[in-house]
Amino acid sequence: MMSNNNKKRGFTLIELLAVIVILAVIALIAVPQILNILNRARKSAAEDTTSGIAKSAENYVTSFMLKNNGGFPDADIAFKCSDDGCILKNNLDDSYNTDNLTTLDFKGTKPTSGSITISENGKKVTAYGLIINNFVCNYGDGISSCIGIDDIGPTQENPPEKQHQGVLKIVYLDPTDLTNKCTSTNVNSNTGTKTGCMKWYAYAEDDNQNTYTMILDHNTTAMVAWNSDNTNSEMKEVKNQLESDVEGWNKSLSPRLISADEVAKIVDKHDFDVKKATYLDDWFYFHDLTNNDLTGRGNVCKDLPNGCKYAWLYDRTKKICETYGCLNNSNIDFDGYWTSSPCTGTSASVWYVAYFGRLTAMSANKFVYGVRPVITISKSNIN
C-alpha cells in the first residue's frame, strides 16, 4: 500500500490569501512609480517638442530675413497652432515677401492649440498654451515647461485660457453688433480698440437673469484721470471717457467700470470690504494675499502653464508684462486701469488694478491709468 505521506500537498486558503495580499502590496507600490516614470517621459517629450517648435521659429527669422534682404517687421509676428500646424496670423504689408513663410516648419507632434510669438525684431521667441499629447506647454527665455492638462483642472474649448481661476468663459464679441460672428482669429486686443470683434472674460454669472458679466481684455483708453480735481467724490474724466469709448455699443450691455469689491471677490480676498478698506493697509497682490514683496511677478508665474492664474485681470498693460505673468504683452506702456471705487479714509484716492497684479490706490488726478469696460450680456447673445 502507498503511504499517505506521499500525497501531493496543495496551498491552503490562508496561504493563497497571503500571496494575493503580497502581490497586491507590490502592485500598489510599483504601479504608481511606473506610471510616474512614464508620465515624466511623456512630459520630457512634450518639452522637447516645444523646444523644437521654438527652434523652428528662430529658423523662421533667418529664412524671413534672407528672403527680405535682412528686413524683419517691427511688429510682433504671431502664429496660431492647430491640427493643421502653426500658421502665420499676421497680415504683413506687400513690402515683405512671405512666399513659403506662412507656416512654421518643424518635425514631431503638432500642437492642437496655442500660439507662437516672435518679437523684438526677431530676437525673442515665446510660446503659450501649446497642447501637446495632453500637456499644456509654454516656452520663454530659452526654457520650455509643460504640465499635464489633468493637473490644471477639466478642460473645455480653448483649454489654455479656460484654466484661469475666476474665468467662467472666454467670449469673442462685437459690442456694436451682437450678431457679428466673432472668433478667436478675428479679434483685436490692441489698446484703444473700441469697436469690432474683441475678447472678453466672463467672470460672473446670474442664473436668474441668464446673463454673464464680462470684462474686456484690453483698455479702450490707455490713460485718463479719474477726476482731475483730485477728488474721489465723483467720477469725472474717466466717466466721460468711458461714455465716449462705448458710443455705438448695444445699449443693453450697460458698460461700466469694475468695482474694487468685484476684483477682491474674483481673487478670493474675502475679507476685503471697500467701505472699510484703506489704501495703507488693505491693498493686496492677486497671487499672494499675504502681500509678500514682488508677489505676482515672474518668479511666481514662470512654472505655471498659463502664466499667473489671475493674469487676465491685468493683462495687456505693459510691453514687459510677461515678466509679471501676463497672457499677452500690450502694444504700448501704461500702468493699469481704474475701478469705480473711491478709497475710504481719503478724499482723493481711488482703487485701481496695477499692471503687476495688485489692487491698490492712487490719487484721482493721475493720468496714468485707463478705461477697461465691463458689460452684462444675455447668454442668448453669445454665439
Domain extents for the chain? 37-156, 169-381
Q: Cell triple for residue 117?
A: 510669438
Average pLDDT over residues 350-362: 91
The rounded percent of the chain whose pLDDT value lies above 70 is 85
- In the structure, what pLDDT confidence band is assigned to residue 289 with cuts at 50, 70 and 90? low
Q: Which of 53-57, 129-133, 225-229 has the highest mean pLDDT?
A: 225-229
pLDDT, mean over the chain? 82
What average pLDDT does the segment 297-318 reach?
65
Instruction: State residue 314's pLDDT score.
Output: 87
CB atoms within 10 A of CB 30: 10
Q: How many of the other CB atoms lie within 10 Å of CB of 368?
A: 14
More confident residue, 325 or 52: 52
**Planar angle of CA 218, 224, 226, nearest 5 degrees:** 110
Per-residue pLDDT at 315 exceeds 80: yes
pLDDT at 236 over 90: yes
What are the beta bridge partners of residue 125? 118
Task: Calculate ∠ Cα 44-45-49, nearest 5°.
Answer: 115
User: In the structure, what pLDDT confidence band is assigned to residue 116 with cuts at 50, 70 and 90?
Assistant: confident
With 0.85 as the threshold, say if the pTM is over it: no
| Closest-CA residue to 249 (of 188, 171, 196, 199) | 196
274 — pLDDT class (breaks 50, 70, 90): very high
Q: Tell me, what's the pLDDT at 8?
A: 59
pLDDT tier, 4 (very low <50, low <70, confident <90, very high otherwise): low
- Give the pLDDT score at 153: 35
**Weakest mean pLDDT among 66-80, 228-242, 369-383:** 66-80
The average pLDDT across 364-374 equals 94
Cα separation, 121 vs 61, whole angstroms: 9
Question: Residue 245: what pLDDT?
Answer: 96
Residue 8 or 68, more confident: 68
Q: How confident is the model at residue 9 (pLDDT cuts 50, 70, 90)?
A: low
Of the chain, the end-to-end C-alpha distance in Å amounts to 91
What length is written for the chain? 383
In this predicted structure, the answer to whether residue 280 has a pLDDT above a threshold of 70 is yes
If you search the block for the grid coordinates 502681500, which residue do you land on?
291
Structure confidence at residue 235 (pLDDT): 95
Contact residues for 235 (Cβ-Cβ < 8 A; gap 6+): 226, 227, 257, 340
Q: How far apart are CA 237 and CA 231, in angstroms?
A: 12
pLDDT of residue 298: 45
Which is it for strands 374-378 and 369-371: parallel, antiparallel or unpaired? unpaired
With beta carbons less than 8 A apart as the criterion, state whether 57 and 72 touch.
Answer: no
Q: Check pLDDT > 80 for residue 103.
A: yes
Nearest C-alpha neighbor of 260 from the set 247, 245, 272, 246:
272
The percentage of the chain sitting over the pLDDT mark of 90, rounded to a whole number, equals 31
Task: Specify the pLDDT at position 259.
Answer: 95
Q: Cα–Cα distance between 230 and 86 in angstroms, integer?
A: 50
Of 319, 298, 214, 197, which is closest to residue 256 (Cα–Cα)? 214
Q: Exposed, middle or buried, 365 (CB in 10 Å: 0-12/13-18/19+)? A: middle
Q: Give the model's pLDDT for residue 380.
A: 85
Q: How far apart (Å, rounded) are the C-alpha atoms in residues 65 and 72? A: 6
> Per-residue pLDDT averaged across 192-196, rounded?
94
Which residues 6+ apart lie within 8 Å of 117 measured at CB?
Answer: 76, 77, 78, 79, 125, 126, 127, 128
Farthest CA pair distance, the chain: 119
Q: Is the pLDDT of residue 65 over 60?
A: yes
- Give bridge partners of residue 172 from the DSSP assignment: 199
Please tell me which residue, 167 or 263, carries the higher pLDDT value: 263
Mean pLDDT confidence for 164-172: 76
Question: How high is the pLDDT of residue 6?
Answer: 56
Whether the per-residue pLDDT at 284 is higher than 70: the answer is yes
CA distance 108 to 103: 15
C-alpha cell at 277: 478698506
Q: What pLDDT, on a 0 to 100 scale, did the predictor assign at position 198? A: 94
CA distance 71 to 64: 8
117-148 pLDDT tens trace: 888 888 888 887 788 888 878 887 788 888 77
**Residue 318: predicted pLDDT:** 83
Between 157 and 195, the higher pLDDT residue = 195
Structural contact between residues 326 and 315, judged by C-beta atoms closer than 8 angstroms: yes
